[in-house]
Amino acid sequence: MQVKQKVYEFYKGTVERVTAPRTVSAFLEKGVLSVPEFILAGDNLVAKCPTWSWEAGDPSKRKPYLPANKQFLVTRNVPCLRRAISVEEEYDAAGAEVVLDEDGEGWLATHGVQDRRGGRHSLYGHLGHREI
């Protein structure tokens, strides 16, 4: 996995050095923002959603075309109606599988879980289904 990541980082760094950041909007055509659009959209997001904020990040990784205090957006303290433990308990009851990666970190398999009756388990089964 580390080799793939290093190759990707090299590729990404090369592309960023060769191509300049967008100065003209291409949002409608390609779905990408120019630098001024990104900053304006981020400012709007931060103003309307208190969980979002701008971050300066590591000085060695800063992009020169972005303001030093607006390198990326991060969201924190997002309220959640369900806690992760309740999701884990439901998957455990359905016979869920925890997959370990090479570092021994656990990931919860969230797709294709079979329940004890042989059908597919759904966390949202209590909501019912509607025909469209």
Same domain, 42 and 71: yes
**pLDDT tens, per residue, the chain with 132 residues:** 689 999 998 998 888 888 888 888 888 999 989 999 999 999 999 999 999 999 999 999 899 999 999 999 999 988 777 777 776 777 677 666 666 677 767 666 665 555 444 554 455 555 555 555
Looking at 75, 95, 116, the residue that finishes a domain is 75
- Evaluate whether 74 touches 45 at the Cβ level (below 8 Å): no
Residue 58 in any domain: the answer is yes
Residue 102 in any domain: the answer is yes
- Evaluate whether 100 touches 109 at the Cβ level (below 8 Å): no
- Evaluate whether 12 touches 4 at the Cβ level (below 8 Å): no
- For 24, the domain range is 17-75
Number of domains in the chain: 2
